[in-house]
Structure 1
Amino acid sequence: MRNLPAILSALFGSLAALACSGNTPYSGPPPEYEPPRPLQTATATAAPTVEAPAPASYGTPEELGKHIDAYMAGYGAKWGEAYAPSGVLVVADQGKPIVVRTYGKADREKGTDFSIDTPLRIGSLTKQFTAAAVLKLVEEGKVATTDSIRKWVKELPDTFEPVTVHHLLNQTSGVPSYTDDPAILARKGENVPNADIIGWVGKKPLDFAPGSRFSYSNSNYYLLSLVVERAAKKPLAAVLKDQVLTPSGMKLTGVDTTNTASGYVRDPAGKLKAADAVSDSVPFGAGYLRSSASDLVRWDRALAGDTVLSRASKDAIFKPGSKCPECGGDYAYGWILDKVAGTPVEWHNGAIDGFSSFFARAPEKGLAVVFLSNTMEFDSTGAGRAVLKMALSGETVSAINERDITPLDEAFAKSVAGEYILSKKSRDDLGAKMPKPVLESIEGMDVKWESGALTFKPVGQGRFGLRKAKDGVLFNGDLAVDLAPDFGDPKKPEKKAKGFTLRQGPITAEYVRGKLPAKKKPETKPASATK
């Protein structure tokens, strides 16, 4: 979730997708497929609840399960196993799982199956737990939401004085996101010291006056993690375990969980491969937790009662804080407030190398939906929201209809391969709509045919695969990007494409053949320090 063209969403498609991606269309493709099978194990332990919610409208669990199976069958139907679901889906009513589905393998190499108790990385779902830890400290009088961040992170310059804990919690601080920096993401496998991230944040000016508007930033929850550690005088993981997870009965959630699923990403050829390792030091409290579907159902029940968070804390956490245009709702403290099928829901999602996640609860109905995937590109949010709609309304949702594709032949692929640059008109038009660094990241495009795969690479981003639609347009389903080659006069087409038209959402850009811009010098690596 960022104020950038959607094509950039894949630049930090791993760590930066710690961000909630509710702005993406709910039709994206997904990983390894095998027919879904019901699981009859491991029901969640319900915490005491408040007043009984009104019943949901899904009919019987069996009927809902059939509707879900029909919907999920669309994923990967045309694009293959790398686009089919892989993970765990649970629908729970009053803390009881009524529909459980597992897809694919938790570990493809070992052939390990998923269960409702399999822990996976949950990315930005971590934020709601970090927010809960902050509110526990507020209950104890150790932290106030009106505290300036400089009270707790004194290394930050005076310009950060107006930024409060409240601004960080509801994403209105104006603090730039450290996961927007390729130099930091290049170190995602390292143990990156706090001082390096704080140093990066402190050197950046605020994007806007704190409290004036919404902008999703992983820096907000990184800084909140430091607030928790410094106020509690213990590691964030310990605070979460003692104050939030253990009281909620969540024994499978943490940073040191065992038997976790392996994560996968799609390569440019559309095949699954093992995801890069990510050090917990980089996402920290913005996205470093692992959890299971069963534990998230327990979390739903804990939130339904007052045993973990006081009523005042829950009122604060779920109070609409800022309009989130990208989410279609309001951002609270680590939660998005929205309506599905006319029913108020509280949800968030996340993604981190090899994993994507979605968790939603409808307190008025006592329903919760969890979708945890071990493929980063799988649209867990779209699938999860569709399932939530079916559970709340009793209506069916049409299955995803993947675009028809045709095989790529070598002659065609070679005719479009080459280097392209933005036309002057497109550069001028886009330059008036987006920041210069964003424009520079897409000002050139390298299209390559290699090892039987056609790929494209914007100059400031990674390399992505292309498929060919039956109408001859090239596309990437994950990014919802179309590249329409231009061969000149249709009656006398040229042997090589002159250029192409890129379309993605509201963005249209013309590219012509030309030499790629020179590479810019990389930023200096931040000085090392002890975490």
Structure 2
Amino acid sequence: MKNKIFSLLFLSLITLPGVIHAQDKAKLDEYFNALETNHKFSGSVSVSKDGKTIYSRSVGFADAATNKKINDNTKFRIGSISKTFTSTLIFKAIEDKKLKLTDNLAAYFPTVPNASKITISNLLNHRSGIHNFTNDPEYTTWMTNAKTQAEMVAIIAKPASEFEPDSKADYSNSNYVLLSYILEKAYKKPYKEIVDQNIVKPLGLKNTYFGGKINPANNEANSYATNDTKEKEPETDISIPMGAGGIVSTPNDLSRFIEALFSGKIISMASLDQMKTIKDNYGMGLFKFPFDSKTGFGHSGGIDGFTSLLSYFPEDKITFALTSNAGGSKNNDVAIAVLSWVNNKPFEIPDFKTFTNSSADLDKYVGNYTSAQIPLAIAITKDGTTLMAQATGQSAFPLDGTAKDKFAFEMAGILLEFKPEQNQMVLKQGGGVFTFTKGK
């Protein structure tokens, strides 16, 4: 749901062969042991072939206050993977003759800017031009408070349109909140009941439902800012994300859901084809995840400290699902390791060695840095023996020493290399290399 300072880059180098051989699970277990020991991942994963789970693993704490460990039935908020559920329900409503893709938003919520030009189809593939309310700076000041449908519609309707409907695509949680309300009007039932009656009960999903207040006693995970599970994240009230990010599930249930979706057990294959059709990088509740000659379909998610991934590869009938409850979990790296294991391809067990600096060692890095390459200033400070970085308009974040003059912020994939003698700092992120100069 919320914008993150990192993006989920998804497995661009994986090849998925048609035949999977028997696997030695020991190395994959060792991989997750290393992640858990070094506090690099907290969550659950599941990988399936032909609808059967061939590996699952859970590490970390569902509730740090009681030392309650995560297990295969621990339930997580799945964030924007909820959009795949909502899109599926929209197509189910279309098949039930309750809606049409060409239905106009003005028939439901005429106060939304350009409502008379926006269709259900535009909402599904993010071509509405409706402002994304989670981008607003003040969003974090009210996200923990319950909102009514009328209040949310007023929030969504207040900003002007960002572009002419259907002229381009831009991701907006507002689209899927509105789709949730449209479903409620079409079925004359709460969204929670619509999910339950059309997906959960027919598929026999035991751990999937529209969420509420997190309840650790019900084996629901809390979310945390980092993998050491010391700082609990604020809890978005589930009335706000609705079908854009309000569903709770497990990797095993998510796998069963997407496998049923792709086998025609929820909606027709013709409807699924429409969901899969990509225009300007967006499908209708689905994204493409290409790997060499293979293509997977699914969604990623993030809400509070929760992150998630779900992808299905129709050609090989392989499903990968991941849920995490701690910021800093490197979901992409975990996915690469697991799918490498599926494909009998090599993967490394990370070392996680760190380089220790004294407080005095850090003095030579402290200062304000600017770059001629990008309009971004970075202030480097220290807090005891921890080096801190703060980019213009962002919160400060801690840096981990990895070698002499080298630091990293793993959550965002940031690498910093200092050159004190030259008063320079080199930032590497997402393939970009940027040189910064320290002010005098």
For residue 264 of structure 2, what is the aligned residue in structure 1? 306
Q: Deviation string for 1:392-448 (max 9, x for gaps)?
A: xx3324226567531121013244335x3646xx3xx545xxxxxxxxxxx544433
Q: CA RMSD in A?
A: 3.2
8 Å Cα contact 1:356/1:372 also seen in 2: yes
Matches within 5 A, 1:87-486: 87-157=43-113, 159-254=114-209, 255-256=211-212, 258-266=218-226, 272-318=230-276, 320-324=277-281, 331-340=282-291, 342-391=293-342, 394-399=343-348, 401=350, 405-418=354-367, 420=368, 422=370, 426=372, 430=374, 443-485=376-418
| Residues 401/70 of structure 1: CA separation in 2 closer, same or farther (3 Å cut) | same
Which runs of 5 or more structure 1 residues have no equivalent in the other structure?
1-13, 28-53, 325-330, 432-442, 490-497, 515-531
In 1, the alpha carbon distance for the partners of 2:173 and 2:377 equals 28
| Residues 462/130 of structure 1: CA separation in 2 closer, same or farther (3 Å cut) | same
AA in 1 matched with 2:162? D
8 Å Cα contact 1:454/1:467 also seen in 2: yes
| Residues 469/305 of structure 1: CA separation in 2 closer, same or farther (3 Å cut) | closer
Q: Deviation string for 1:348-388 (max 9, x for gaps)?
A: 11122222211122233332222222223212244224423
Q: Deviation string for 1:237-282 (max 9, x for gaps)?
A: 2211122222121231111483212222228xx7742222221123
8 Å Cα contact 1:123/1:351 also seen in 2: yes
In 2, the alpha carbon distance for the partners of 1:281 and 1:511 equals 46
How much does 1:72 deviate?
Answer: 4.4
Match of 1:68 among 11, 16, 28: 28
Tell me the secondary structure at the aligned position of residue 261 of structure 1: coil
For residue 23 of structure 1, what is the aligned residue in structure 2? 9
In 1, the alpha carbon distance for the partners of 2:148 and 2:438 equals 44
8 Å Cα contact 1:351/1:376 also seen in 2: no
In 2, the alpha carbon distance for the partners of 1:347 and 1:503 equals 29
| Residues 307/484 of structure 1: CA separation in 2 closer, same or farther (3 Å cut) | closer
In 1, the alpha carbon distance for the partners of 2:97 and 2:222 equals 40
8 Å Cα contact 2:285/2:299 also seen in 1: yes
How much does 1:67 deviate?
Answer: 5.1
How much does 1:465 deviate?
Answer: 0.8
AA in 2 matched with 1:219? S
| Residues 171/302 of structure 1: CA separation in 2 closer, same or farther (3 Å cut) | same
| Residues 385/513 of structure 1: CA separation in 2 closer, same or farther (3 Å cut) | same
In 2, the alpha carbon distance for the partners of 1:155 and 1:305 equals 39
AA in 2 matched with 1:68? L
For residue 523 of structure 1, what is the aligned residue in structure 2? none
In 2, the alpha carbon distance for the partners of 1:111 and 1:372 equals 19
Tell me the secondary structure at the aligned position of residue 231 of structure 2: strand
Which runs of 5 or more structure 2 residues have no equivalent in the other structure?
none
Kindly indicate whether residue 39 of structure 2 is the aligned counterpart of residue 82 of structure 1. yes
Kindly indicate whether residue 429 of structure 2 is the aligned counterpart of residue 504 of structure 1. yes
How much does 1:174 deviate?
Answer: 2.9
How much does 1:160 deviate?
Answer: 3.9
| TM-score normalised over the length of structure 2 | 0.86
| Residues 74/238 of structure 1: CA separation in 2 closer, same or farther (3 Å cut) | same
How much does 1:220 deviate?
Answer: 2.0
| Residues 448/188 of structure 1: CA separation in 2 closer, same or farther (3 Å cut) | farther
In 2, the alpha carbon distance for the partners of 1:484 and 1:297 equals 41
In 2, the alpha carbon distance for the partners of 1:55 and 1:480 equals 29
How much does 1:511 deviate?
Answer: 5.2
Tell me the secondary structure at the aligned position of residue 240 of structure 1: helix
In 2, the alpha carbon distance for the partners of 1:486 and 1:200 equals 48
8 Å Cα contact 2:46/2:321 also seen in 1: yes
How much does 1:55 deviate?
Answer: 9.5
How much does 1:464 deviate?
Answer: 0.9
In 1, the alpha carbon distance for the partners of 2:164 and 2:349 equals 41
Matched length: 432
In 1, the alpha carbon distance for the partners of 2:225 and 2:44 equals 17
For residue 31 of structure 1, what is the aligned residue in structure 2? none
Tell me the secondary structure at the aligned position of residue 254 of structure 2: helix
In 2, the alpha carbon distance for the partners of 1:271 and 1:406 equals 22
Q: Deviation string for 1:434-482 (max 9, x for gaps)?
A: xxxxxxxxx5444332254322223422221112232403331221223
AA in 2 matched with 1:284? M
Q: Deviation string for 1:117-169 (max 9, x for gaps)?
A: 22111111111001111112211222211223222222213x34322211221
How much does 1:103 deviate?
Answer: 1.6
AA in 1 matched with 2:429? Q
| Residues 449/113 of structure 1: CA separation in 2 closer, same or farther (3 Å cut) | same
| Residues 309/222 of structure 1: CA separation in 2 closer, same or farther (3 Å cut) | same
| Residues 165/112 of structure 1: CA separation in 2 closer, same or farther (3 Å cut) | same
In 1, the alpha carbon distance for the partners of 2:249 and 2:6 equals 17
Tell me the secondary structure at the aligned position of residue 311 of structure 2: strand
In 2, the alpha carbon distance for the partners of 1:212 and 1:205 equals 16
Quick one: percent identity of the two aligned structures? Answer: 25
